[in-house]
Amino acid sequence: MGIARHDPATLGRPAWNAGRKVGVEKPLKQGQIWAIRFFLDSEGRMRDRALFDLTIDSKLRGCDLVKIKIGTVVTGQEIRTRATVIQQKTGRPVQFEITAETGLVCSRCFSKDGTIDDFAFPSRVDHADHLSTRQCARLVDEWVTAIELRCEDYGTHSLPRTKAAMIYIHRKSSCDPDIARSYQDREHGQVSGCRHRGRAGTRRAY
């Protein structure tokens, strides 16, 4: 339902989406991932680095990630290669792989004095509670701003979508080298004139 331009009640009223993130949040690219890692390492923020890497590996929503406990990731003195989390939204278990690099960062981050029932990312206000999703969103805004990206285009949904987007691009490029070259052109902001063969053997633009 629209609003009349000449309605005096609407004068000075901001738009409903003013200052809000609207639309799909972009996934991060490979170079942006390493830029954020370099920023966090240079600042000595190991907890944020573990949070960042674990989010990309697990593809979990923020509400599920902040509630991860040490016992979910650690077994004995070692980091698990696979972990399982019950999703809050669906109530279903989801399994994810923990890469060797993420495991190394997590082993350095998690406190050796903690128990398996402690949260992996505790709140700085109340150590018995977990990091809030709002604070997690603020951290993501800080990370993307640090590498000169628009925080309006990226958010907490960007990290879970990153690994899926990279897998999709890798599979598409491995099937058709023309698609790989086309994607590389778009990465550098160039207009690609690449073409690929259709099923009938004719060449068509896409």
Let me know if 196 is exposed, middle or buried by CB neighbors in 10 A (0-12, 13-18, 19+).
middle
Highest mean pLDDT among 53-57, 115-119, 195-199: 53-57
CA distance 12 to 10: 6
CA distance 16 to 31: 34
- Kindly list the structural domains of the chain, giving each domain's residue range(s) and its CATH number in brackets, ordered by start: 30-163 (1.10.443.10)
Of 78-87, 120-129, 136-145, which gets the smallest average pLDDT? Answer: 120-129
- pLDDT tens digits for range 168-203: 766 766 655 555 555 455 544 443 344 444 444 444
